[in-house]
């Protein structure tokens, strides 16, 4: 089974590969669902692909936002850049993107994004007919539903195993777009669901706990899942290292270190409510961690109990992967995996910096953000005493 890790920047890419990921997924710029991540632009995309392929790690590039007509020329340029980099597949949502990619790079495997909300066998079969080789299923499915889809379809099935849950069905949320004109389907979700929206005395009623099926990874494998995906292109490299290590440990038949993973980041613990069919309030909702808490946690130092391996993703340790031409190959791309500031032969190099808390690229939804969107229209109407 493939462990697919998030790579929002160079350090997270290194953390994923060092920790034992079989594949990574990353974005290039304007046309991916995490536009506020650092991403990989210009020559850095090809460098990242070469770095991973040299270590036996696959790379999937996200082109998974909805595209406007006036953006097609810029998208064509981005698609050509991706094709030239030579990834192992592209993750897409917009069917117009599929048509473009089939024209530019017909041999590049297509992966259906979870933003397409595929939740049954009919959806998978439709995508098979369109040429998709892999489908990322919606997060809301139970294990039995996944098993049923597997029995009726041919495409590879990928599921999320750990990370954030959307308060709406995968790919169908317009909350951020309507509140602040920052659409999740355009890669700019402001996460207003993480604000303290109370209901019947329950704080953060729209903020779900993070999902985690890591302890059920063998069940997913038995159900026919070929790849388990970790959410988190906006999270720090230490989170990536901890999550990949936990999944790898579980796949090896050992007890994963969930305490370390929770210490690095969680929203009041984890839930497996969707996978087990417990779709109710008590075990599933109420991750009492708002967006401000998320931003504060991204900046604070890691707890003292976090192992050194996760804290620095094994700085200076031996590579798990083999790669051509020795350390010089990695140094060629500015991605040498030696101790920070020192090469394997003691020479200095650019690239891997000391692990330190990463600042989140997003800013919290602010009052001024609201006034340009639907919420602002309602607010201004109330001030004037009119019906919105």
pLDDT digits (tens, 9 = 90+) for 265-306: 776 778 898 999 886 655 444 444 444 444 455 555 665 555
Q: Tokens 């993070």 belong to which residue?
A: 210
pLDDT at 192: 77
Whole-Å CA distances, 78 to 100, 104, 115, 116, 281: 11, 11, 20, 21, 42
Name the phi and psi angles at 230, rounded to 5: -100, 125
For residue 276, give the CATH number of its domain: 3.20.20.70
Assess if residue 346 is contained within a domain: no
Count of structural domains within the chain: 1
Residue 285 structural domain: 2-167+209-315+355-361
CB 247 within 8 A of CB 256: yes
pLDDT at 304: 55
Assess if residue 279 is contained within a domain: yes
pLDDT at 120: 97
Assess if residue 175 is contained within a domain: no
Which stretches of the chain drop beneath a pLDDT of 70? Answer: 32-39, 171, 183-188, 267, 279-388
Assess if residue 19 is contained within a domain: yes
CB 39 within 8 A of CB 3: no
Assess if residue 179 is contained within a domain: no
Assess if residue 240 is contained within a domain: yes
Q: Pull the structure tokens for residue 189.
A: 């979700």
Assess if residue 125 is contained within a domain: yes
pLDDT at 48: 93
Assess if residue 271 is contained within a domain: yes
pLDDT at 24: 97
The strand ranges marked E within 57-133 are 58-63, 89-92, 110-112
Closest CA to 162 of 88, 269, 255: 269
pLDDT at 69: 86
Name the phi and psi angles at 380, rounded to 5: -65, -35
Say what the pTM is. Answer: 0.75
């Amino acid at each position: 089974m493939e462990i697919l890790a998030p790579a929002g920047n160079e350090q997270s890419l290194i953390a994923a590969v060092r920790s034992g990921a079989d594949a990574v997924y990353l974005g290039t710029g304007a046309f991916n669902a995490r536009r506020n991540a650092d991403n990989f632009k210009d020559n850095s995309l090809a460098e990242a692909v070469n770095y991973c392929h040299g270590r036996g790690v696959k790379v999937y590039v996200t082109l998974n936002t909805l595209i406007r007509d006036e953006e097609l020329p810029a998208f064509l340029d981005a698609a050509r850049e991706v094709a030239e980099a030579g990834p192992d597949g592209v993750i897409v949502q917009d069917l117009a993107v599929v048509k473009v990619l089939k024209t530019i790079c017909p041999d590049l495997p297509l992966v259906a994004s979870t933003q397409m909300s595929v939740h049954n066998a009919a959806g998978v079969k439709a995508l098979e007919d369109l040429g998709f080789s892999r489908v990322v299923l919606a997060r809301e499915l139970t294990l039995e539903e996944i098993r049923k889809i597997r029995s009726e379809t041919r495409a590879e099935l990928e599921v999320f195993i750990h990370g954030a849950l959307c308060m709406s069905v995968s790919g169908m949320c317009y909350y951020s777009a309507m509140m602040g004109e920052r659409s999740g389907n355009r890669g700019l979700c402001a996460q207003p669901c993480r604000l303290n929206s109370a209901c019947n005395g329950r704080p953060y009623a729209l903020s779900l706990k993070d999902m985690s099926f890591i302890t059920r990874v063998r069940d997913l494998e038995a159900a026919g899942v070929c790849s388990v995906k970790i959410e988190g292109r906006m999270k720090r490299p230490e989170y990536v290292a901890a999550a990949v290590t936990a999944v790898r440990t579980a796949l090896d038949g050992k007890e994963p270190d969930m305490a370390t993973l929770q210490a690095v980041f969680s929203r009041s613990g984890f839930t497996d409510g969707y996978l087990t069919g417990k779709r109710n309030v008590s075990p599933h909702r109420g991750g009492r961690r708002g967006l401000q808490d998320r931003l504060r946690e991204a900046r604070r130092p890691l707890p003292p109990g976090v192992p050194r391996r996760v804290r620095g993703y094994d700085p200076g340790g031996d590579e798990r992967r083999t790669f051509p031409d020795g350390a010089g190959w990695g140094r060629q791309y500015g991605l040498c995996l030696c101790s920070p500031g020192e090469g394997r032969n003691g020479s200095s190099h650019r690239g891997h910096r000391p692990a330190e808390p990463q600042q989140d690229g997003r800013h919290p939804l602010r009052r001024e953000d609201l006034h340009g969107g639907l919420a602002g229209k309602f607010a201004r109407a109330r001030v004037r005493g009119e019906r919105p």
